[in-house]
Amino acid sequence: MRSAGPDTGRWPVDDVVARLRAPGGYEAFAERVRQAGCCRRPVRLSGRVTTTGPTGQPVVLFDTATLPDRVLLKACGTRRETLCPPCAAVYRGDAFALVVAGLRGGKGIPDDITSHPAVLTTFTAPSFGPVHRRRSDGTCHPTGLRCPHGTALVCGRRHADSDPVVGQPLCPDCYDYEGAVLFNAGVSELWRRTTIYALRELGRLAGLSVRQAERTLRLSYVKVVEFQRRGSVHVHAVVRVDHRGDEDGSPPAVSGELLAGALLAAARRVSAPPPGPGSAARLRWGSQADVAVIGDSDDGRRRAAAYTAKYACKGSDADGVLDHRFRGGVPHHLELPAHLRALAETAWRLGDRPDLGHLRLHLWAHTCGHRGHFLTKSRRYSTTFGQLRTDRQRWRVEHGHAEGDQVSESPATGQWRFEGVGYRSTGDAWLAAGIAEAERLGRRAAWEDRRWASATSPEPGSSPVEVS
């Protein structure tokens, strides 16, 4: 096998041998890889950090010239499992910490937040045409009419969950691709309106006027979008009710059941305006909505958080084909199921329409129209990803684990040069993958040892969501 790295023409094994013979050898390289969190495609930076000494002379604090290959490796930090599993695991851990802090305290949120009513919701997209599916009784579409294209909208099969045909339309010509893309593009606005409606509805159920409800109550939430097999987004959210102005204080006198009822009523009634003058229909949720009250037990709150966090690392397709933005339309060589390709191409085409210019769909064709972040939260819900990263950096610096992080903590000035992304050779990438696997197994063994040693549940930072 020829090397796929920039130094093509060499055998990976030659690169491995060269690495082992280099100054510091394997250990020096492995240390760099571990410091970059075993990232699969780290950013390579060269440069130095300087500060001013007591007499005004420049003092070099850190120089990449002292490192193997004279570069610092910085983790890519992606949330996408398909791009970089080690970085996605870190992201998922952070997502869990963020969600769980809003449910049971920690990270600056008091523990008695547990007494605030909270629910776990799932809202779905409406139908844009019949697709192959697996209903609870195992059937797909045992009966159906013939469509205008002459296709019988019937499927008598019983699909396994893993069947790739699930989510594909029975008649692609009937499928409302534009509607599907515009729903994905407008789902954040639909969610925003849903929370406003739900707050008023909650007030109404509790005997408050709209004004009173808006003045005294607040819905804090964290939401994650998940792509269904048919390429439309689902929204999973944890919603908590607080007193406005005293969000961390005592809980309002409403129950979780009341909150659940208010959200369901809102989901049924709410709509958002069509995204452009050319599109007629207002956006609405699909008929399948699910709202479950999260109890105040520690276990229930952890499970709700783990459930929400697990969706935060998924992309718009399971294989990661759509992990990157397109430059000039959907490339022909991309191996995409026809349905997903049609969605992405529709999104790209809608991106040309002046009346939809504000949606900037060329930037979001790879996510079938869904714009922006997969995980978002309201401001008061809990801590932020930024704060969690800062805390982790501080911990690493205090425990002497990170030169690169020391750099960004320092009040000194750094001059950096971007040298590239990924390992310099296939041999290095092989070695790094081996180091990552050893680390993962080490963590798993440590976690199992701890679990074995104590009958109590594991601490949050080492929860199974990190090591599974």
Q: How far is the CB of 401 from Zn ion (least distance, A)?
A: 17
Q: Could you give the CA distance from residue 444 to residue 436 in angstroms, rounded to a whole number? A: 12
> Would you list the DSSP string of 239-270?
EEEEETTBTTSSPPS--HHHHHHHHHHHHHH-
Q: How far is the CB of 65 from Zn ion (least distance, A)?
A: 24
Residue with tokens 């060589």: 333
Span near Zn ion by CB under 5 A; candidates 37-45, 62-70, 383-391, 417-425: 37-45
Q: Which of 39, 180, 272, 322 binds Zn ion (CB under 5 A)?
A: 39
Q: How far is the CB of 86 from Zn ion (least distance, A)?
A: 6
Length of the chain: 468
Record the tokens describing residue 219, joined without a space: 């819905």
The Cα diameter of the chain in Å comes to 86
Q: How far is the CB of 169 from Zn ion (least distance, A)?
A: 9
Nearer to Zn ion, 171 or 363 (CB): 171
Record the tokens describing residue 144, joined without a space: 């159906």
CB atoms inside a 10 Å sphere around CB 291: 21
Contact 208, 216 (CB under 8 A): yes
Instruction: List alpha helices for 289-415, DSSP H.
Output: 298-310, 338-350, 385-398, 403-409
The 132-171 site mask, x for binding Zn ion (CB under 5 A), equals x-------x------x-x-x---x-x-------------x
Nearer to Zn ion, 19 or 132 (CB): 132
Nearer to Zn ion, 79 or 223 (CB): 79
Span near Zn ion by CB under 5 A; candidates 84-92, 191-199, 325-333, 441-449: 84-92
Q: Could you give the CA distance from residue 304 to residue 328 in angstroms, rounded to a whole number? A: 40
Q: How far is the CB of 88 from Zn ion (least distance, A)?
A: 8
Q: Could you give the CA distance from residue 18 to residue 243 in angstroms, rounded to a whole number? A: 63
Q: How far is the CB of 156 from Zn ion (least distance, A)?
A: 8
Nearer to Zn ion, 39 or 375 (CB): 39
The 115-134 site mask, x for binding Zn ion (CB under 5 A), equals -----------------x--
Q: Which of 45, 67, 87, 99 binds Zn ion (CB under 5 A)?
A: 87
Contact 291, 241 (CB under 8 A): no
Q: Which of 38, 45, 84, 267 binds Zn ion (CB under 5 A)?
A: 84
Beta strands 72-74 and 233-243 are unpaired
SS3 375: strand
Q: Which of 18, 28, 154, 174 binds Zn ion (CB under 5 A)?
A: 174
Size of residue set near Zn ion by CB under 5 A: 15
The 420-449 site mask, x for binding Zn ion (CB under 5 A), equals ------------------------------
Q: Could you give the CA distance from residue 384 to residue 388 in angstroms, rounded to a whole number? A: 6
Q: Which of 70, 108, 145, 173 binds Zn ion (CB under 5 A)?
A: 173
Q: Could you give the CA distance from residue 358 to residue 141 in angstroms, rounded to a whole number? A: 38
Q: How far is the CB of 157 from Zn ion (least distance, A)?
A: 5
Q: Tell me which H or E stretch contains 16.
A: helix 12-21
Nearer to Zn ion, 117 or 129 (CB): 129
Q: How far is the CB of 151 from Zn ion (least distance, A)?
A: 5
Contact 272, 190 (CB under 8 A): yes
Is there binding between residue 309 and Zn ion (CB under 5 A)? no
Q: How far is the CB of 142 from Zn ion (least distance, A)?
A: 10
Q: Could you give the CA distance from residue 69 to residue 66 in angstroms, rounded to a whole number? A: 9
Single-letter code of the amino acid located at 301 = R
Nearer to Zn ion, 2 or 149 (CB): 149
Nearer to Zn ion, 86 or 203 (CB): 86
Q: Could you give the CA distance from residue 450 to residue 459 in angstroms, rounded to a whole number? A: 10
Q: How far is the CB of 154 from Zn ion (least distance, A)?
A: 9
Single-letter code of the amino acid located at 35 = Q
For residues 44-83, which are near Zn ion according to CB under 5 A? Answer: 75-76
Q: How far is the CB of 100 from Zn ion (least distance, A)?
A: 23
Residue with tokens 């920690």: 106
Residues that bind Zn ion (CB under 5 A): 39, 75-76, 84, 87, 132, 140, 147, 149, 151, 155, 157, 171, 173-174
